[in-house]
Amino acid sequence: QYTRGTVTAFAPFDARADAEALRKAMKGMGTDEETVLTVLTTRNNAQRQEIASAFKTLFGRDLVDDLKSELTGKFETLMVSLMRPAYIFDAHALKHAIKGAGTNEKVLTEILASRTPAEVQNIKQVYQQEYEADLEDKITGETSGHFQRLLVVLLQANRDPDVGVDEALVEQDAQVLFRAGELKWGTDEEKFITILGTRSVSHLRRVFDKYMTISGFQIEETIDRETSGDLEKLLLAVVKCIRSVPAYFAETLYYSMKGAGTDDDTLIRVMVSRSEIDLLDIRREFRKNFAKSLYQMIQKDTSGDYRKALLLLCGGDDD
């Protein structure tokens, strides 16, 4: 269903030849990082799994272990992330977001707000297989309040299918949200959670338009005023993803690099997870909304082999 990635199947592909090239690049003193990053950023995930399998067959070694021992820092994190099978990638990110002291709400928000119901079902299944634990139990154990409730709703992955829009229901939902927020002293968060967490994408886009007509405000402005903290961030992420997932990720990438310091975890997570899905669309939204290209911002904000690899994943400049 996705054809807007920057990384596609490489042809002509030879898993054994790639495995041999990688072994040679990492054998002996020093590592040929250029070969490593060129091979791994230009093959798609399915091909990387074949290379890992050929690597083990030919040399009796684990490719990921070798990458971990030969590379360091952010470059290592990026290369190892590229080696994770796509469906394990999200499960792994969520596991780390809820592991140990403190929860990384940002990761929970980004993944659960942006994935399709089918993808969420997939993540839950893989999480159970990989970690022998129930993702929902883990998340409810580490979160609370309305933030937790909206996460649980999103984890059910029961959003209505997109099958035509009932204008009467659009009107009704917009009125309910208006009464639950702007017209109420305090906020009825549950109404926001139920409507934003369960209605279909095309229905909600119409609700947002209708809401603007009724209230004179964008729904984002109301959420901003009426809620706070993690719930506010999650509701806003859901709204942004309903409007446009690529625009949401363009903004996420922009803020991962804007200002002093770079949020490399976010930068790596988005570049890797969207590289075969919609990174071309994300680049277009980035250029449109931030008056510079994603490529230029990565170039300015990162360095070394890490930068080279990210720029290859980015797949080109839009200026």
Q: What is the mean pLDDT of residues 261-273?
A: 96
pLDDT at 2: 55
Mean pLDDT of 271-290: 97
Find out whether the peptide bond into 12 is cis, omega within 30 degrees of 0. yes
132 in the same domain as 112: yes
In terms of domains, do 175 and 227 share one? yes
* 260: in domain: yes
Rg value, the chain, Cα: 21
Greatest CA separation found in the chain?
70
Q: Is residue 270 one of the residues assigned to a domain?
A: yes
Share in percent of the chain as helix, strand, coil (round to 5):
70, 0, 30
**Is-contact 200 208, C-beta < 8 A?**
no
Contacts of 244 (CB under 8 A, 6+ apart): 285
For the segment 116-166, what is each residue's pLDDT rounded down to a tens digit?
999 999 999 999 999 999 999 999 999 999 999 999 999 999 999 998 999
Final residue of a domain: which of 69, 85, 101?
Answer: 85
Query: Does residue 230 form part of some domain?
Result: yes
Asked whether residue 116 is assigned to any structural domain, the reply reads: yes
Which of 239 and 187 is assigned the larger pLDDT? Answer: 239
Which CATH number do you get for residue 198?
1.10.220.10
Angle among Cα 89, 148, 200 to the nearest 5 degrees reads 75
Lowest-confidence segment of 45-59, 81-95, 96-110, 127-141 by average pLDDT: 96-110
Asked if residue 2 belongs to a domain, the reply is: no
pLDDT in tens, 33-79: 999 999 999 999 999 999 999 999 999 999 999 999 999 999 999 99
CA dist 154 and 229 (Å) reads: 18
Of 39, 87, 48, 52, the C-alpha closest to 277 is 87
The number of domains in the chain is 4
> Of 243, 261, 291, which one is at a domain's C-terminal end?
243
pLDDT in tens, 202-235: 999 999 999 999 999 999 999 999 999 999 999 9
pLDDT the model gives residue 85: 92
What was the pLDDT predicted at 242?
97
Average pLDDT, rounded, for the chain: 95
Do 26 and 72 lie in one domain? The reply is yes
Instruction: Give the long-range contacts of residues 12-18, CB within 8 A, separation 24 or more.
Output: 13/43, 13/47, 13/50, 15/47, 15/50, 15/51, 15/53, 15/54, 16/54, 16/58, 18/43, 18/47, 18/51, 18/54
- pLDDT band per the 50, 70, 90 thresholds, residue 86: confident
- Domain membership of residue 140 (yes or no) is yes
pLDDT of 261 higher than 90: no
Asked whether residue 215 is assigned to any structural domain, the reply reads: yes
Q: Tell me whether residue 1 is in a domain.
A: no
- What percent of the chain lies above the pLDDT cut of 90? 91
pTM: 0.94
71 vs 86, higher pLDDT: 71
State yes or no: pLDDT of 1 exceeds 60.
no
Containing structural domain, residue 139: 87-156
Q: Choose among 82, 118, 92, 107: nearest CA to 2.
A: 118
Residues 193 and 149 in one domain: no
The count of other CB atoms within 10 Å of the CB of residue 269 is 22
